[in-house]
Amino acid sequence: MMLSPADILSAQILIVDDQEANVQLLVQLLQEAGYQNLTTTRDPYAVCELHRSQHFDLILLDLQMPGMDGFAVMAALKQTEGQGYAPVLAITVQPRHKLRALASGAKDFISKPFDIEELKTRIHNMLEVRLLYNQLEHNNLTLEALALHDALTQLPNRRLLLDRLRQAQLSSARTHRHCALLFMDIDHFKQLNDTLGHIAGDELLQQVSKRILGCAREGDTVARFGGDEFVVLLESLSASGTLAEGQVKVIADKMHHALRQTYQLLGQTYDTSLSIGVAIFSGDAQAMSSLLKKADQAMYQAKADDTQGVCFDASGISTK
């Protein structure tokens, strides 16, 4: 991870001091150093709201202010920051406040009257650490997202689907509402790859994923299970097995119809369909692998019968 000088100079900085002259001095020094995004306030009570809305990379905080001193401001900032980290550089005329300031959450400290070069160096170093931390956190979140989503379609992958399936089972056990797995497989997908190539195959997978998403309800999980297989997890269906089956049939038929419409691949029209297998369940008694196997087997039954695009596995349906 690398930071450029522009990254440092474009950081968001808040200056907090009740004395206008001190505020103007810091603004002048920072502007001369090239810093571009400066915000100021003489009201210590406004600091938390400003930080909450603007997420400053550095707060230059005077410790001695009337009404609410810098120590009280830092205590409030700890509540604002989710991890209790407040990017505060404490400034005061009392060097004896240094240890208390650091113990209160300040990441660095400088006494007035300060050496200008020392101040600039401390500001630069604090910003570098803060921005690198932010960059690392962003990278970690990106890696986590990549680990749980399919790179081609951006849909949840098998790992994330299994996690949501387990949560759906636990929720179903509490609420007694049914859930369903729809296992889908693109018909004749290998033939498409062999004739038009893998670029066309990837384009079809992306278009299929968008059509499935367009038919799913808000809160449903649409996942790419692998290859040309997709799985949809439907939650919060009726507590009645019969009514739940009817709800699933409406959604599955809608998806099957949408997925049979002509596709445009690399400037050519292409017709295909998806076979859909359905397994309805309630509670958490069945193993996830068993539920997926039932939906998969139902899908193969649908594929074997050209007159059916959707096939239900009835073994897990309650008629209550």
Catalytic sites, residue numbers: 228
Query: At 176, which amino acid appears?
Result: H
CB-CB contact of 63 with 90 (8 Å): yes
CB-CB contact of 178 with 238 (8 Å): yes
Say how many Å lie between the first and final Cα of the chain, rounded.
58
CB-CB contact of 57 with 33 (8 Å): no
User: What would the two tokens of residue 265 be?
Assistant: 């691949």
Please tell me whether residue 199 adopts helix, strand or coil conformation.
helix
Q: How far, in Å, are 9, 60, 185, 228, 305 from residue 124 at the CA level?
A: 9, 12, 55, 51, 69
Q: How far, in Å, are 48, 59, 68, 119, 301 from residue 12 at the CA level?
A: 15, 9, 23, 17, 60
DSSP 36-67: -EEEEES-GGGHHHHHHHH--SEEEEES--SS
Please work out, in degrees rounded to the nearest 5, the angle formed at the alpha carbon of residue 294 by the alpha carbons of 168 and 252.
Answer: 70
Torsion on CA atoms 223, 224, 226, 230, rounded to nearest 10: 80
CB-CB contact of 252 with 259 (8 Å): no
